[in-house]
Structure 1
Amino acid sequence: MGRDLVQLRAATPEDHDWIHELRHRVYAQELGQHPPDPSGRLRDGLDGDNVCLVAARGTARIGFVSLTPPWLGRYALDKYLTRDELPLLTEGDPFEVRILTVEPHRRSTSAAALLMYAALRWIAARGGRQVVAMGRTELLDMYRAVGLRPAGRTVHSGALTFEVLTGSVAELTKVATDRYRTTLERLRSTVDWRLDVPFAPRPDGCEHGGASFTAIGTDFRSLHRRHEVVAADVLDAWFPPAPGVRAALVDDPAWAARTSPPTDAEGLLAEIAMARGLPPDTLAVGAGSSDLIFRAFGQWLTPESRVLLMDPGYGEYAHVTERVIGCRVDRFRLRREDGWRIDPDRLSAAVASGRYDLVVVVNPNNPTGRHAPAAELRSLIAAAPARTRWWIDEAYLGYVGLAESLAELAVVDPRVVVCTSLSKMYALSGMRAAYLVAEPATAARIRRWTPPWPVSLPAQLAAVAALRAPVYYSDCWLRTHELRRQLSADLGGLDGEALVEEAVANFLTVTLPTGGPSAAELVRECRRHDVYVRDLSPLSPRYEGRTVRIAVRDTAENARIVAAFGAALDALRPRRASLATPAAATPAAATPAAVTPAAGSAR
């Protein structure tokens, strides 16, 4: 890139001495927030743990912004306020934006705006949902203009007075992309963007896998690429559909393409009822589970509704509840130290208050792959308030055993709905077929809001044939466990510092060591080998920007995954070594405050 472009990048160890020197010039000498230090450097206790993003032009550094992620367990604000005085530090896993600072002679440029936007994008890419910062009280109108709002706390530091500010990442992103769209488009052409996150968010705000199909070609003109690309970023089955499914699809494809299907998928409903031993009037079908989620949640929920989601959890639920409907959403935090399993006592206590209209449990969970025993969930639901509805997503249950389904409970308990996709378990992702189970009145309301022909004729033919081949699929599910265990062992042998977690479904996760390259960098390197894996960072700050999910493929493609993974680690090891030796963290006499426009912020 040309030297006239402003480079945005993560700070390197070489940047830290300049950062400390610039801090001293601005916060000690210019603003009087801290007393001068004979060394001419200003450090603080979070140095070496927090993240700095740097703006530079060529070799000349322009400014930086510091970020404190929630997984550190401490914030600069802890110096001024207790957690009781500022509970949002505990409740929402916020990311702290701190000490945005620009060289004095560069303050008339766009550097500060770019740094703040870069901080927002970095936070969003790590699953951040809430931002907290401090800003000078006389500039509150400017903070409000970008979406920040006062949290009701004032902080005094040296000669300066600050307001504690907060804002949701979704709202801040909306303000940036709507109100300042033209400015961002102009700035984009001036930036050499070197961060491990795209410059612009997805238009719909929902993060899905599927970049592998972009590599194949979404215009369908280069479908031969499907033989070259390993699509391990989506959880499609590695095995083909049952022979009966393939026979049904090739028998008369011209007829299947031109013929309208049964209006209400009567034959498919009857087959599901027979295969699962369920009353037909407790069923409703849809074009995949997302179709059912949108229809059901759209009926049940309003912006006044309160929803509890597992965190980490399948991103579609957060998208629908928060961004489409606008519900008040809380997260039940799953913990790595608990093996990502649901703690039934903690969940029971969270639900006992009766504040939730809906609790969503994906079981086995995606993306953690952990399964909650049916008996535990039954007990939880039995003890829960009568007003709380439970949505149980069993898209991957076949890998545990269909006997673990809560479908029979859903038939008789109006609080429970079970949703099951036929896509992943039956190798029918391209067909789009799913169903839900609920007591008859609830199922009837869903069917009433179902348009005619909800599932295409090819999909109905394929789904019926699949349900008639239980032995074939049981064998495939058993083979999946063998493939997953081998893939786990092979990946684990590449890097003793990386953590491979198998769980029970058709995928596993790999977490890179702290202080090394990010998951996004690993994903990028694997793509150089036409191997696509999923960066889980945007789903939850629980993953700390370090975890990827890998779908189990067949033996040959798993070998390609291992080879690409090993090559990516080799390519990134020099970066790991450089990041492993940050500048020494020296306690400061005082912690520099957060966003300070007098130091160059245009936030």
Structure 2
Amino acid sequence: MSRPLTLRSADAGDMTWIHELRHRVYAEELGQHAPNSEGRLVDGLDGDNVYLVAARGADRVGFVSVTPPWAGRYGLDKYLTRAELPLLDEADVFEVRLLTVEPQARTGAAGALLMYAALRWIASRGGRRVVAMGRSDLVDMYRAAGLRPVGRTVRSGAVDFEVLTAEVTELSRCAAGQHAATLTRLAVCVDWRLDAPFASGPDGCEHGGASFTAIGADFRTLERRHEVITADVLDAWFPPAPGAHAVLTEDAGWIARTSPPTGAEGLLAELAAVRGLPAETLTAGSGSSDLIFRAFGRWLTPSSRVLLMDPGYGEYAHVTERVIGCRVDRLRLRREDGWRIDPVRLAAVVADGSYDLVVVVNPNNPTGRHAPAAELAAVIAAAPARTRWWIDEAYLGYVGPAESLASFAARDPRVVVCTSMSKTYALSGVRAAYLVAEPGTAAELRRWTPPWAVSLPAQLAAVAALRDPAYYAGRLQRTHELRARLAAHLAAVDASVTVEESVANFVTLTLPPGGPSAAALVAECRPHGVYLRDLSPLSSAYEGRTVRVAVRDTGENARIVDAYRAALDALRTRVGTLSTIGAAR
């Protein structure tokens, strides 16, 4: 039996072999470059490329390079101007180049696995489009993988290349569908060492919650919850209000067997009283995702055009792009601007009235920034009448009710405000949420709400929680204190890592360029029972380097800091430096 094929990121020791293999193939075999006396071919992008290597034991058999958008340049820039190939100016474009396999391995699985490895690495870093140069004589192979020529041919030495491109979602769909049997067969015989999962999630939407795999999704080992720190999801660190706890436990048998009020009438009445809103402007749901799917499914079609903030909550991209198939554009938020939503930029982007829907998560998850309500309201008021706005205020409780646009939404038919009770009311498990819209819009959504959409435990707990604002005010203030202390303790571990506080219940860690990937840090913390969230799949703006850490209580925060320190020490020891993905640069 042959040894398994290993897929891994290149390290510094691989680069000499990569340069020598390039020379043997592209200079001596294909005549693409002139041979040289050193027998090595370097690439001008070696300092920016990420190289993935296939090997059998100690024998390397092939590699592929990926040039990420944060490099600021591509190999194709040598052949075509941006005017000739404008897709290179789009965000989230990753270039795949130099797929090279040793002659004796070309009839095996190495080439296909390297192409697939590049796709998974790109998807794990928030890539949305791939561009590549493929030899013209092999274009059918690339077509079979899902790539399509753009109509541009370039010549390098004696070799013609087609410029190819595809959306990452399409390539992933092709791999999971057309090539599913091949991937299933390869999965059992490949030693996958990349810091990207071999396969995407079943629905293609990247969420937190991997910590439940350690607890046990079959619920047979729930005692493990005391050992695992679930800092990869933003559930509250504190329990719900005493009244909510009491109503859930005092007669659990009756609650479990009894059908709830059909339309959550009591919950809607309580929300109307607490928020000072007409009851006819409210619609209840089983969590915000329920409301998102229900509303967007009614309003949008594949011909709809949607604007999302980037980085932003991944559910919105999933529903609009993958479920409905809308045309989705993104307003890129900038690290150098503190991730803030610039109202001038936003107003300019929506001014032509081409968008059917604009989604703003405020405060934003995962950036943790809040756009002042007055600024956002001014942009919406001046925006074209045909554009609908969806404002997600799941984390607004951490800022304050005065910053809500709910009263605006109750009057303006263009605006809907969605609010989850999961995060600030500590009710993630029971699933309760609501939206605010002008009465006609709210009534339409209520008509499309199935009966008993919100469970009796959720209705009872939500009503009890709404009746105890003092309890939650104290818990939210304590969250701010815990967050500040956690950020300070994390920052003290390593000055090369940027620690940023959000306005909500999390902080972010951004590792230095050339240091370990976010995925590597997350994986290294898990043996300590600490689960963090790699933000890389949400946006290429994170460059594969940013981790989100949910605020927990004092004891758990201390364990998070200890695990983080141990993880960095282990990564340093493993490679002799704070470099994993950057070691080949």
Query: Normalised by the shorter chain, which TM-score bucket?
Result: over 0.9
- The correspondence of residues 455-470 of structure 1 with structure 2, limited to 5 A, is 455-470=454-469
Residue 156 of structure 1 and its aligned partner are, at CA, apart by 1.5
- The correspondence of residues 420-435 of structure 1 with structure 2, limited to 5 A, is 420-435=419-434
- Alignment correspondent of 2:337: 338
Contact 2:516 2:579 in 1 (8 A): no
Q: Residue type matched to 1:408 in 2?
A: S
Residue 521 of structure 1 and its aligned partner are, at CA, apart by 1.1
SS at match of 1:414: coil
Residue 574 of structure 1 and its aligned partner are, at CA, apart by 2.7
Contact 1:516 1:576 in 2 (8 A): no
Q: Distance in 2 between matches of 1:540 and 1:150?
A: 26
SS at match of 2:202: coil
- Alignment correspondent of 1:71: 70
**Identity across aligned pairs (percent)?**
74
Q: Distance in 1 between matches of 2:363 and 2:250?
A: 35
Contact 1:510 1:549 in 2 (8 A): yes
Q: Distance in 1 between matches of 2:529 and 2:330?
A: 35
- Alignment correspondent of 1:272: 271
Q: Distance in 2 between matches of 1:53 and 1:142?
A: 20
- The correspondence of residues 56-135 of structure 1 with structure 2, limited to 5 A, is 56-135=55-134
- Alignment correspondent of 2:317: 318
- The correspondence of residues 256-267 of structure 1 with structure 2, limited to 5 A, is 256-267=255-266
Contact 2:432 2:462 in 1 (8 A): yes
SS at match of 1:528: helix
Contact 1:517 1:575 in 2 (8 A): no
Larger RCO of the pair (alpha carbons < 8 Å, separation 6+): 1
Residue 251 of structure 1 and its aligned partner are, at CA, apart by 2.3
Q: Distance in 2 between matches of 1:571 and 1:580?
A: 11
Q: Distance in 1 between matches of 2:24 and 2:339?
A: 46
Change (3 A) 1:253 1:375: same
Q: Distance in 2 between matches of 1:396 and 1:163?
A: 47
Q: Residue type matched to 1:19 in 2?
A: I
Q: Distance in 2 between matches of 1:33 and 1:574?
A: 41
- Alignment correspondent of 1:440: 439
Q: Distance in 1 between matches of 2:542 and 2:583?
A: 25
Residue 93 of structure 1 and its aligned partner are, at CA, apart by 2.1
Contact 2:572 2:579 in 1 (8 A): no
Q: Residue type matched to 1:208 in 2?
A: H
- Alignment correspondent of 2:236: 237
Q: Deviations over 1:404-456 (max 9, x none)?
A: 00001101111100000011110000110000000000000000000001111
SS at match of 1:420: strand
Residue 584 of structure 1 and its aligned partner are, at CA, apart by 9.1
- Alignment correspondent of 1:166: 165
- Alignment correspondent of 1:185: 184
Q: Residue type matched to 2:77 in 1?
A: D
- Alignment correspondent of 1:157: 156
Residue 151 of structure 1 and its aligned partner are, at CA, apart by 1.6
**Structure 1 residue ranges without an equivalent (≥5):** 586-603
Contact 2:572 2:578 in 1 (8 A): no
- The correspondence of residues 377-396 of structure 1 with structure 2, limited to 5 A, is 377-396=376-395
Contact 1:354 1:388 in 2 (8 A): yes
Are 2:22 and 1:55 aligned? no
Residue 181 of structure 1 and its aligned partner are, at CA, apart by 1.1
- Alignment correspondent of 2:146: 147
Residue 531 of structure 1 and its aligned partner are, at CA, apart by 0.6
Q: Distance in 2 between matches of 1:263 and 1:551?
A: 35
SS at match of 2:417: strand
Contact 1:16 1:583 in 2 (8 A): no
SS at match of 1:199: coil
Residue 34 of structure 1 and its aligned partner are, at CA, apart by 1.2
Task: State the TM-score, normalized to the length of structure 1.
Answer: 0.95
Residue 138 of structure 1 and its aligned partner are, at CA, apart by 3.5
Q: Distance in 2 between matches of 1:58 and 1:141?
A: 31
SS at match of 2:66: strand
- Alignment correspondent of 2:298: 299
Residue 261 of structure 1 and its aligned partner are, at CA, apart by 0.8
Contact 2:356 2:388 in 1 (8 A): yes
Q: Residue type matched to 1:223 in 2?
A: L
**Structure 2 residue ranges without an equivalent (≥5):** none
- Alignment correspondent of 1:591: none
- Alignment correspondent of 2:14: 15
Q: Distance in 2 between matches of 1:300 and 1:135?
A: 40
SS at match of 1:538: helix
SS at match of 2:528: coil
Q: Distance in 2 between matches of 1:238 and 1:359?
A: 31
Contact 1:284 1:437 in 2 (8 A): yes
Q: Distance in 1 between matches of 2:190 and 2:173?
A: 21
Q: Distance in 1 between matches of 2:137 and 2:28?
A: 21
Q: Distance in 2 between matches of 1:166 and 1:329?
A: 18
Contact 1:48 1:583 in 2 (8 A): no
Q: Residue type matched to 2:137 in 1?
A: E
SS at match of 1:545: coil
Contact 1:515 1:576 in 2 (8 A): no
Task: State the TM-score, normalized to the length of structure 2.
Answer: 0.98
Contact 1:98 1:133 in 2 (8 A): yes
Are 2:532 and 1:556 aligned? no
Q: Distance in 1 between matches of 2:574 and 2:165?
A: 33
Q: Residue type matched to 2:161 in 1?
A: F
- The correspondence of residues 578-597 of structure 1 with structure 2, limited to 5 A, is 578=577, 580=579
Residue 47 of structure 1 and its aligned partner are, at CA, apart by 0.7
Change (3 A) 1:579 1:239: closer
SS at match of 1:381: helix
Q: Distance in 1 between matches of 2:341 and 2:179?
A: 41
Q: Could you tell which deviates more after superposition, 277-286 or 137-146? A: 137-146
Change (3 A) 1:500 1:584: closer
Q: Distance in 1 between matches of 2:473 and 2:77?
A: 54
Residue 41 of structure 1 and its aligned partner are, at CA, apart by 0.7
Residue 202 of structure 1 and its aligned partner are, at CA, apart by 1.2
- Alignment correspondent of 2:398: 399
Residue 142 of structure 1 and its aligned partner are, at CA, apart by 2.7
Q: Residue type matched to 1:561 in 2?
A: I
**Number of aligned residues:** 584
